[in-house]
Amino acid sequence: MASNDGSGGFMLGLFVGGAAGFLAGILMAPRSGEETRATLAEKSGVWRDRAGELSAVTRERLGQAVTEGQEAARRARGHASPEFDDEFDIDFDDDPLTEPDGDQA
């Protein structure tokens, strides 16, 4: 059971504070609105590209970790007692990150 230690409230406060600081910085910047909008449009494209790259890297690493975990579980299962094998019937060929046609999710 998960405990409620208040970390969700802290993260929300951190996000709201960061957003407020960002907006204050934008509003107090010594540039015209047109220059600010152009800068934001340029930066948002860069941030979008970086987010896409990070997403791809994360997906690849997660896939590798799942594969390594499945292989470790197969090895452990091979060393397990027959009672364990009967109690936990795990299908390691069912990869949750792979679509039925073999493509990654």
pLDDT digits (tens, 9 = 90+) for 2-56: 455 666 788 888 888 988 888 888 777 777 778 878 888 888 888 888 889 999 9
In terms of pTM, does the model score above 0.75? no
Whether the pLDDT of residue 105 is over 60: the answer is no
Query: What does the pLDDT read at residue 93?
Result: 60
Question: How many whole angstroms separate alpha carbon 47 and alpha carbon 24?
Answer: 20
**Looking at residue 104, what DSSP letter applies?**
B
Give 48-84 pLDDT, tens digit per residue: 888 899 999 999 999 999 999 988 888 887 776 666 6
